[in-house]
Amino acid sequence: MEFNTICVVGLGYIGLPTAAIIASRKKHVIGLDVNADAVATINQGKIHIYEPDLESVVRMAVADGYLKATLVAEPADAFLIAVPTPFKGDHEPDLRYIESAALSIAPVLQSGNLVILESTSPVGATEAMAEWLAKERPDLSFPAAAGDDSDIRIAHCPERVLPGHVLRELVTNDRVIGGLTARCSEYARELYQIFVEGNCIVTSARTAEMCKLTENSFRDVNIAFANELSMICSKLDIDVWELISLANLHPRVNILQPGPGVGGHCIAVDPWFIVAASPNESHLIRQAREVNDRKPHWVLNEIQNAANSVKLDGTAAHKPVVACLGLTFKPDIDDLRESPALEICKMLCDSNLLEVVVAEPNITQLPDQLLGKVELLSPSDAIERADVVVLLVDHRQFKDISRTSLGDKKIIDTRGLWRR
């Protein structure tokens, strides 16, 4: 199968880097998105998100004529869907973006096309997507009815890249490819071999879907363990970071790091897809989510206690000032999605008992939820103003702040960055 033109649906944190990498292999890539601003920005060779080195790859791909963005689907040899899969209601997966992506490409599908779902999806989503396409295009045959001889081939191949390292991991990570038939997998593997240097391993679509959910749930459970330890250690007056580094010297122990909670669009979301599919069996996975979701409230309580002790000391005649260092969901990125740091900051503002200032070197404008409620300052200005300094994200800019420069301010270091 020759893949000369590939349509990537969804030009976000996954779709845009994927489109750019495929285009850099001199394949014609059409990027389809519903966001007119994003489409216009990309067609100027610029980007609307932050990811290291991405802009130069996009700039070159657009300048060389291999990448163009559009609002309307065009025919292609393969379609790669990378749209968000949020949850709705009581943590039920919301497949509406996948459905609308499927409906947008259905009119241009041609016999021989390959459609790949890359979005992290609950088990059964690839089959559902195939059904939506089949309903729109009764003139074409699909795997459920035609098996290996289907006109349209369909597979799930979950993205697994780490924000901040996307361009490298897109190429070097192994890929799990789950076709709806063996031939679907074969074609999908050929497509990925255009740019993937890792192994492309074939399985069923359902296993591929569950594999991605399993990877992120494993990480969530491990972080929940670390977060639970951090709260226990605080009570027992033990340095949790020292404890974990010592425990990890054991050859079969590898505990992750505690923090203010778990954020981002993946680890804080995907485990719920397993819980929703099998609620009676998913005790541990649900508990881990709940432990991680409770952590920001625990941190809030710590901050309030520290602020109260400032008031009791009589060192502050005004409302105690809290400096929140970091708002993003992890270090050295600008992504605020599901960020526990942002959640803590919002809760602090809503309590109205404290004055809050923020330092976040990776953004230039406060998010709407904080507009008018806090001041965005440089790290040194925020610290200078503060009675309580709360380190929420271990950005590289905060690593150089010396503990002594913080004087006798109250310090809450949720990331263990300034351990003595």
Residues assigned a catalytic role: 212, 266
Q: Closest distance between ligand SAJ and the C-beta of residue 263, in Å?
A: 4
Q: Closest distance between ligand SAJ and the C-beta of residue 203, in Å?
A: 18
The nearer residue to ligand SAJ, 47 or 266, going by C-beta atoms, is: 266
The nearer residue to ligand SAJ, 93 or 320, going by C-beta atoms, is: 93
Q: What is Dmax (Cα atoms) for the chain? A: 79
Residue 29, φ and ψ in degrees, nearest 5: -120, 130
Q: Closest distance between ligand SAJ and the C-beta of residue 272, in Å?
A: 13
E strand or H helix that includes residue 40: helix 36-43
Q: Closest distance between ligand SAJ and the C-beta of residue 392, in Å?
A: 10
Which residues have CB under 8 Å from 171's CB, separation 6+?
21, 195, 196, 197, 198
Q: Closest distance between ligand SAJ and the C-beta of residue 265, in Å?
A: 7
The nearer residue to ligand SAJ, 290 or 313, going by C-beta atoms, is: 290
The nearer residue to ligand SAJ, 161 or 167, going by C-beta atoms, is: 161
CB atoms inside a 10 Å sphere around CB 120: 25
The nearer residue to ligand SAJ, 10 or 259, going by C-beta atoms, is: 259
Structural tokens at position 131: 């059904």
CA–CA gap between residue 196 and residue 53 (Å, rounded): 18
The nearer residue to ligand SAJ, 60 or 347, going by C-beta atoms, is: 347
| DSSP string computed for 360-418 | -TT-SS--GGGTTTSEE--HHHHHHH-SEEEE-S--HHHHT--GGGGTT-EEEETT-TT
Q: Closest distance between ligand SAJ and the C-beta of residue 31, in Å?
A: 19
CA–CA gap between residue 173 and residue 129 (Å, rounded): 25
CA atoms within 13 A on the CB side of 418: 22
Q: Closest distance between ligand SAJ and the C-beta of residue 204, in Å?
A: 20
Count the helix, strand and coil residues of the chain and give each as a percent rounded to the nearest 5.
Answer: 45, 15, 40
Measuring CA to CA, which residue among 382, 253, 256, 251 is closest to residue 325?
Answer: 382
The nearer residue to ligand SAJ, 17 or 163, going by C-beta atoms, is: 163
Burial of 207 (0-12, 13-18, 19+ CB in 10 A): middle
Residues that bind ligand SAJ (CB under 6 A): 120, 159-163, 215-216, 219, 223, 256-257, 259, 262-264, 266-267, 329-330
Q: Are 140 and 109 in contact (CB under 8 A)?
A: yes
The residue count for the chain? 420
CA–CA gap between residue 95 and residue 85 (Å, rounded): 6
